[in-house]
Structure 1
Amino acid sequence: MKNMILLLFAFVLLASCDAQQSKINAVSFVAAGIEAAEEHVVAVKRINANYATVMPFGFIKDLETPEIMHNTDRQWFGETKAGIMQYARMLQKQNISVMVKPQIWIWRGEFTGYLKMDSEEKWKQLEDSYTAFILTYAEAAQEVNAEIFCIGTELEQFINHRPEYWSTLISEVKKVYKGKLTYAANWDEYKRVPFWKELDYIGVDAYFPISESKTPSVEEAKKGWQNWKKELFEVSTIHERPIVFTEYGYRSVDFAGKEPWKSDRSMPGINMEAQTNLTKALIEELYPESWFKGGFIWKWFIEHDKVGGAENNQFTPQNKPVEEELKRYFSLYSK
């Protein structure tokens, strides 16, 4: 018991020291069919971001198919190894640090958390294919000196059914990549991930339901965070790792805090105030916490002047009121 108390004290002290440092003030830099140019990354720098995610993609035919197609000439440039390396280097020229975050797209947008094989043979095939996919980008992350590498995104059933594989994969990744490691767990999955102590950060795609109001106030949204904050702190303490939001954000639409993960177009209307208030509440509640490392807002398209704006009700903060709020907060938490 005494050793446990000392260990907890040491973790809290370490986290407290880390709180005095700058947070990860970041965007999710969406892949495109073109190379990143200076003006694309200057727009990221302009909001005082100090990090960006680059996201290579692998593609699977359906939830029962074990083969992952990746790094092909049929993909957009920014989804490939050459593409994410070019993006990373352009970002680094603006002193923006990089996380490499490989992701899987299942045809018709099926949720990756449901990916599950129906035989041992297929599981082995999936493991071999996934290892090849991940090591391709772990090597790329090492080559560009990316600060963080994410070993997967929202793969709950894969982890539940093959936990030993994931520990082996982490060991393999560490042979080729020497930076910090995380995994992007869905908001309702992260408590059950078994390998957090083998990584550096607890990664959470933070689409927690916060408010059922059409246009929640900042104060209402803050109240909606209280139970989630307690849970996040407890998980951070148990595993002795800081939390990073590998994705977070809200659509500029009515009821944006009710089911923040929804990306379909069934939610009509435009509500900039809801997006702004929810984002402000998240930052004001989480960023001051010593156990919270920061986060990557979803999502940022590279051609800044052509996206977002007053008629857009999707996730991007670009050319919307919330962009100015991010610029202000990121400046505050970069000191």
Structure 2
Amino acid sequence: MTYGWNSSRGAYRQPYALDSLKKLKETGSEWIALSFYTYQTNVYSTDIPFDYGHTMTDRDIEHAVKHAKALGLKVCLKPVVNSADGIWRAHIGFPNESAAEPYWDAWFRSYGNFLCHYAELAEELGCEMLCIGCEMVRTEGKTAHWIALIDRVRQIYGGPITYNANHGTEEGVEWFDRVDLIGTSAYYPVAKRPGDSEEAMIANWLPVKEKMARLHAKFGKPIAFIEIGCRSALGCATMPWDYDTLDLPYSEEEQANFYGSVLKSFWDEPWFAGFFWWDWSVNLYPLQAAGTDVGFDIYGKKAERILKEWYAKSRSYAQA
């Protein structure tokens, strides 16, 4: 599960956060992606400052990691840079021409400083994985910069690293040979209409699976969905990335079909490493509100029951 997203500093250390983490563990999940963000001023900025008003402190992160580990959860630390102007982080970058190279150099220097701070923290806290970027689409073509950044990170952090590409752009990342795990945000629109069946979604996962198999064959790395999920709202499986269309009617069935379809499609693939579901809130709604919540959370919904069944089956196989 992704845990911690869109939480302000201090939230990880609240009593409700520990209660939420315990409920996350009860799903049978073995990992969390502890995901938080800071801001750069706009998509053309070359400096990534620490936001003292919002960004999680190291003390917050240490608290969350220690409690997750105490529950038996492994942690992928996932620091993210967003743009304060509201433009999606995929557009962070500069023109691809020689005159813009000083801007690229400055941004990667600042991003490297940002990332190495958290690489050091991940090493000190014993995090089992580090995600070095999320959906930074416009930067992905700067292969030399990314290779140098990965080399810098590996001097600090000794565990496996991954990068979180965006669905549809995975095949454009030429430096995936430098990471240990190829990751993507798998918000593929596998439903063709609102209320589509699980069987229809399974059929639409097939070309995605074929593409992921090619990616694995090209780089020899396992594939993971570092983000994947669907809101419990009618029509959201046609646009799983959607988070702000709030007038859609509640539908736990569509969310459950999305979960069931991707589990059935990828579970037995030997090159597939697993899922970080999007997402599990630090401050959960009350259980009695599950039937009206149209967000990504699965707590108290049919998708949670499906996930628990799959994960319980996995544990029983492992013990056999």
Q: What is the TM-score when the length of structure 1 is the normalising length?
A: 0.87
179, 190, 205: which one pairs with 1:225? 205
Q: Could you give the per-residue CA deviations for residues 301-326 of structure 1, whole angstroms, max 9, x where no partner exists? A: 12335486111112111222211211
- 1:333 equivalent to 2:308? Answer no
Deviating 4+ runs (over 6 angstroms):
none
Matched-pair contact (CA < 8 Å) for 1:56–1:80: no
Per the alignment, do residues 245 and 36 of structure 1 end up closer, same or farther by CA in structure 2, a change over 3 Å counting?
farther
Distance 1:105 1:223 in 2: 34
SS of the equivalent of 1:250 reads coil
Q: Quick one: which amino acid aligns to residue 75 of structure 1?
A: H
Q: Could you give the per-residue CA deviations for residues 125-162 of structure 1, whole angstroms, max 9, x where no partner exists? A: 211110111001111111111111011000111121x2
Distance 2:268 2:155 in 1: 35
- 1:143 equivalent to 2:152? Answer no
170, 175, 180: which one pairs with 1:195? 175
Matched-pair contact (CA < 8 Å) for 2:2–2:34: no
Q: Could you give the per-residue CA deviations for residues 33-86 of structure 1, whole angstroms, max 9, x where no partner exists? A: 42155423211111111100112312012111122123x43125xx33222221
C-alpha RMSD of the superposition: 1.7
SS of the equivalent of 2:270 reads coil
Structure 1 gap ranges (5+): 1-25
33, 36, 39: which one pairs with 1:56? 36
- 1:28 equivalent to 2:8? Answer no
29, 50, 54: which one pairs with 1:75? 54
Q: What is the TM-score when the length of structure 2 is the normalising length?
A: 0.90
161, 168, 186: which one pairs with 2:148? 168
Show the counterpart of 2:94. Answer: 117
- 1:127 equivalent to 2:108? Answer yes
Q: Quick one: which amino acid aligns to residue 102 of structure 2?
A: E
Q: Offset of 1:117 from its aligned partner?
A: 2.3
274, 279, 283: which one pairs with 2:259? 279
Q: Offset of 1:199 from its aligned partner?
A: 0.9
214, 220, 234: which one pairs with 1:234? 214
Distance 2:110 2:247 in 1: 36
Q: Quick one: which amino acid aligns to residue 55 of structure 1?
A: S
Q: Offset of 1:174 from its aligned partner?
A: 0.3
Q: Quick one: which amino acid aligns to residue 123 of structure 2?
A: Q
Over the matched positions of the two proteins, sequence identity in percent amounts to 23
- 1:101 equivalent to 2:78? Answer yes
Distance 1:326 1:108 in 2: 36
How many pairs are equivalent? 306
Distance 1:170 1:163 in 2: 11
31, 44, 49: which one pairs with 2:24? 44
Q: Offset of 1:124 from its aligned partner?
A: 2.1
Distance 2:76 2:177 in 1: 19
Q: Could you give the per-residue CA deviations for residues 11-30 of structure 1, whole angstroms, max 9, x where no partner exists? A: xxxxxxxxxxxxxxx34343
281, 288, 302: which one pairs with 2:268? 288
- 1:297 equivalent to 2:277? Answer yes
Per the alignment, do residues 226 and 310 of structure 1 end up closer, same or farther by CA in structure 2, a change over 3 Å counting?
same
Distance 2:101 2:172 in 1: 23
Distance 1:114 1:27 in 2: 23
- 1:323 equivalent to 2:304? Answer yes
180, 201, 224: which one pairs with 2:160? 180
Aligned pairs for 1:236-275 within 5 A: 236-265=216-245, 268-275=248-255
SS of the equivalent of 2:221 reads coil
Distance 1:330 1:215 in 2: 25
Matched-pair contact (CA < 8 Å) for 2:3–2:282: no
Q: Offset of 1:333 from its aligned partner?
A: 2.5
Distance 1:164 1:316 in 2: 38
Q: Larger relative contact order (C-alpha < 8 A, sep ≥ 6)?
A: 1
Q: Quick one: which amino acid aligns to residue 330 of structure 1?
A: Y
